[in-house]
Structure 1
Amino acid sequence: MLDAEGHCIYGLEAGITLLSLLERDILSKAGQKALCNPAEVVGVEDVELAPPIPRPPSFRDFMSFETHLRNSARAMCVDVPEVWYRAPAFYFSNPAAMLGPNAPVPRPPGADALDYELEVAAIVGRSGSDLGPDQAEDHIAGYVVLCDWSARDIQRQEIPLTMGPSKSKDFATSLSGFLVTPDELGSPGRAGCYDLRMTAEVNGRLYSEGNLSDLHWSFADMLAAASRNTTVLPGDIIGSGTVGTGCILELSGLHGLDTYPFLVPGDRVRLDVTGIGVIESEIRDADDVIPLYDPPPSRERP
């Protein structure tokens, strides 16, 4: 539990996890206990924050910002699919690749087009099946900042397979350090979307700027779609997808790679969503030196 000033963490007994509190539906009660009778109090600067849900039951990442969809389609020379406007769309990513807000991010071997993606994620608080949007709203425990790190050159090789993305995405996903409950964000605006500024900086330079209120599909819409014909569980992560201009793929398509180059080891990326949290990560080279894909075979002209 973080204090109101954001300086100290009020801890519960060893072994208690956020996921276990969600599973028992006692998050609010546990928060009050932490404030009134903490097992420990430590400064935020004195600890290394892990992801709030280190191993979620599942991780679905949606694409719910129309501007991102249009800019990405343009950058990748594909058409905007009309079906996107009929229902929220997502892919499953890797629950075992969650990183804390300050953990270094390994660049996959053979990847020369590493990208960040500026997102917000909802954390499911209660299980449910075949939820309507009105019901789904009550199943959201809170929100975190999410970065869906992406190897764009690997992604381009996966797209023709119509089975991805997979290896271009599953190596790392960063989460901000604290779950922010809906009551802390005030009243949502249009279609249940919060008016929250979202920014991304690379090496101190502002790259991306958007707003969570620009969502075309609300988190309630996304969670309802995720629960269709199945069951969502406490701790499941529902990513919003990238805010408009919230990645280098978009920015380079609009302004050129010379202006917005892809990430290299040593770069520092800062993602900030007002009222929810911050991710600050340094890019590192992975220890493994084996690339996923062999280079394409050379072809001699006849």
Structure 2
Amino acid sequence: MKYARIDVAGTERVALVETAGVEHNLTLFPIGTDLLIAACEHQVPPTDAPVVALSDVRLRAPLMPRSFRDFVSFEEHVVGASAMTADPASAVELWHEQPTYLYGSPHAIIDPGYPVAGLPASSQLDFELEVGIVIGKDGRDLTPAEASDHIAGYLIVNDWSARDVQKHEMRGGLGPAKSKDFATTIGPWLVTPDELEDCRVGDRLDLRMSVFVNDSEFGSDNLAHMGWSFEELVSYASRGAWVRSGDLIASGTCAGGSLAEAWGRSGALDPPPLSPGDVVAMKVDRLGFFSNPVVAPPAERYKTVAATPLRDLHTLTGTTK
């Protein structure tokens, strides 16, 4: 089943998505229905529930996740994008040893179709084509087999990135952090695992992933090319820690799914970074499609200055060291 969160005449509703060809009809649940609970319990709307067309409503992000772990699961992307690290060869070697992830901000979630602005003073806005899963029930120290029962559904993720800020952050041995703390699009709806069983190849999902810039396909890959399965990622995330209902766990960028990967391979900003007026769209088989227009970032209100040297602080406080 597919569950959407939508705005109908200013009221937030949860809807069951019914697809016929390229058309989507949305059957509304009663006001107050929780999307994640509905998905976990495979709820259906009442038989007399109203039906609306997708074109008549505004899509919202399916949920506001409690936390966001973003993994790095596609080897080809790592090989290309490792140019942003101080030691590309070591970055690729370390990637093979175990899964890695960063924490994204759940407060940066953006609706499908909503305008996206880069960070103030950044000139290298980029997209990242990913697939994410939403945790449906709490768990800790899970095996991959156990983790399967904790996946409530799948959705598309665009992990927007300010690459110039990211490169600077990673020189310090931390990050990326601020370079991603402004926008992450998820949607267009949450697709329950049973919808995808016929796409399984072992513990992977055979789903084509594509990203488009201004209606031209930029890159594509297959979700089955993940170096670890989602069940393995959930298991790793839960090692000595909790994964909670409502957590978002993403695959990381697929091969060809970002500008940075192309820049790393060529050594130049070609194709150029995104700019206002561009439109980025993402499509994944069986999971749907969404797009976001790029708009100009707000003016920078305060320019960060260098830290005050410790010697000056000692002078300020009248202490010596």
Structure 1 pair 292–186 and aligned structure 2 pair: CA distance change class (3 A): farther
Distance 1:92 1:265 in 2: 27
Cross-structure match for 1:2: 17
Between 184-193 and 119-128, the greater mean CA deviation after superposition:
184-193
Cross-structure match for 1:72: 81
Residue 54 of structure 2 corresponds to residue 44 of structure 1: yes
Distance 1:258 1:168 in 2: 17
Residue 27 of structure 2 corresponds to residue 18 of structure 1: no
Distance 2:197 2:36 in 1: 24
Contact 1:191 1:218 in 2 (8 A): no
Write the deviation string for residues 77-127 of structure 1: whole angstroms up to 9, x where unpaired: 632433322321101110111111111111110110000000000111111
Aligned equivalent of 1:124, options 108, 131, 135: 135
Cross-structure match for 1:195: 206
Write the deviation string for residues 225-280 of structure 1: whole angstroms up to 9, x where unpaired: 11111111111101000001210001223346564111011100111111111120
Say which structure is richer in strand: 2
Q: What's the TM-score, normalizing by structure 2?
A: 0.84
Q: CA deviation at 1:183?
A: 1.5
Contact 2:17 2:26 in 1 (8 A): yes
Q: CA deviation at 1:290?
A: 3.0
Distance 1:292 1:197 in 2: 42
Distance 2:206 2:86 in 1: 31
Cross-structure match for 1:267: 278
Between 187-196 and 224-233, the greater mean CA deviation after superposition:
187-196
Aligned 1:78-97 pairs, distance under 5 A: 78-79=87-88, 80-81=90-91, 82-97=93-108
Contact 1:201 1:208 in 2 (8 A): yes
In structure 2, stretches of 5+ residues that fail to align are: 1-15, 308-321
Contact 1:75 1:250 in 2 (8 A): no
Aligned equivalent of 2:122, options 107, 111, 119: 111
Cross-structure match for 2:72: 63
Paired amino acid for 1:226:
A
Structure 1 pair 12–292 and aligned structure 2 pair: CA distance change class (3 A): farther
Secondary structure of the equivalent of 1:176?
Answer: strand
Paired amino acid for 2:190:
L
Distance 1:233 1:190 in 2: 27
Q: Answer with 1 or 2: which has the greater Rg.
A: 2
Residue 154 of structure 2 corresponds to residue 139 of structure 1: no
Paired amino acid for 1:14:
I
Contact 1:109 1:292 in 2 (8 A): no
Q: CA deviation at 1:179?
A: 0.6
Structure 1 pair 258–61 and aligned structure 2 pair: CA distance change class (3 A): closer
Between 211-220 and 174-183, the greater mean CA deviation after superposition:
174-183
Secondary structure of the equivalent of 1:281?
Answer: strand
Highest relative contact order (Cα 8 Å, sep 6+), 1 or 2? 1
Count of residues in correspondence between the two structures: 288
Distance 1:37 1:253 in 2: 55
Structure 1 pair 85–103 and aligned structure 2 pair: CA distance change class (3 A): same
Contact 1:108 1:285 in 2 (8 A): no
Q: What's the TM-score, normalizing by structure 1?
A: 0.89
Secondary structure of the equivalent of 2:76?
Answer: helix
In structure 1, stretches of 5+ residues that fail to align are: 297-302
Aligned equivalent of 2:224, options 192, 196, 213: 213
Paired amino acid for 2:34:
T
Cross-structure match for 1:299: none
Paired amino acid for 1:120:
V
